[in-house]
Amino acid sequence: MASHKGVVLLGHLFSPFDQRVRITLKEKGIEYEYKEEENLFKQKSELLLEMNKVHKKVPVLIHEGKPVCESLIIVQYIEETWPDKTPLLSSDPYQRAQARFWADFLDNKMYDCGTRIWKLKGEAQETAKKEMIEILQLLEMELGDKKYFGGVTFGYFDITFIPLTIWFYTYETFGNFKIREMIPKINEWAKRCMERESVRESLVEPEMLYNDICFLRKEIYGIE
């Protein structure tokens, strides 16, 4: 079994990608040192630039001096490195493939769509809002009557998705529309996830995130 020693996470408190990794580490019971990139948008640390030379962004997991980048890859690395601690992926190859498919779908569709909602206005924002509703309706259907997306056990795709749900308040506020009333099953699933200590301790309050995005829009992107 791999050692817990020498595990460091470079992250940012409000990053949903960072939150995925923190949830995973807590679920696995892995001790780690957390180093927050407080000035991520203005002055990245030398350690981050050294450990993620390609994308220069968080999260980065450093294990025994070696960096692993990109949140989904990091979660899978943790799963494979400590497989005996709270398995997050099914032993069934098809179920693992399904979980990875939906995680890829989420990262390729939802985050970008949400960013367009809080960054843009007018017709472009309306298009993004329609896309967001379509994405969430697909996920609502995929969840169905299951306790978690993978069945009865909290796992890989739940970890992938749950940090993005705290963005709903930001999307609704900037987009002036209602998301949560359209997805009752996802709402109940999110409540179940929030009962887990790993999730509660890793996510921020939706209002805190909204305030951070307001600051980001004005100070970094110059959007009034």
Transcribe 103-117 into DSSP letters.
HHHHHHHHHHHHHHH
* Beta strand ranges found along 16-161 (DSSP E): 33-36, 60-63, 66-69
Q: Are strands 7-11 and 33-36 parallel, antiparallel or unpaired?
A: parallel
Query: Burial level of 20, CB count in 10 A (0-12/13-18/19+)?
Result: buried
Q: Categorize the per-residue pLDDT at 2 as very low, low, confident or very high, splitting at 50, 70 and 90.
A: low
For residue 166, the model assigns a pLDDT of: 98
pLDDT mean across residues, the chain: 95
For residue 39, the model assigns a pLDDT of: 80
Q: Each residue of 3-27: pLDDT tens digit?
A: 566 899 999 999 999 999 999 999 9
Q: Categorize the per-residue pLDDT at 153 as very low, low, confident or very high, splitting at 50, 70 and 90.
A: very high
Q: Each residue of 60-71: pLDDT tens digit?
A: 999 999 999 999
Tell me: pLDDT of 28 over 90: yes
* pTM for this entry: 0.95
Nearest to 25 by CA among 44, 43, 40, 8: 8
Q: Categorize the per-residue pLDDT at 42 as very low, low, confident or very high, splitting at 50, 70 and 90.
A: confident
- As a whole-number percent, the residues of the chain with pLDDT over 70 amount to 98
| H or E segment and range at residue 8 | strand 7-11
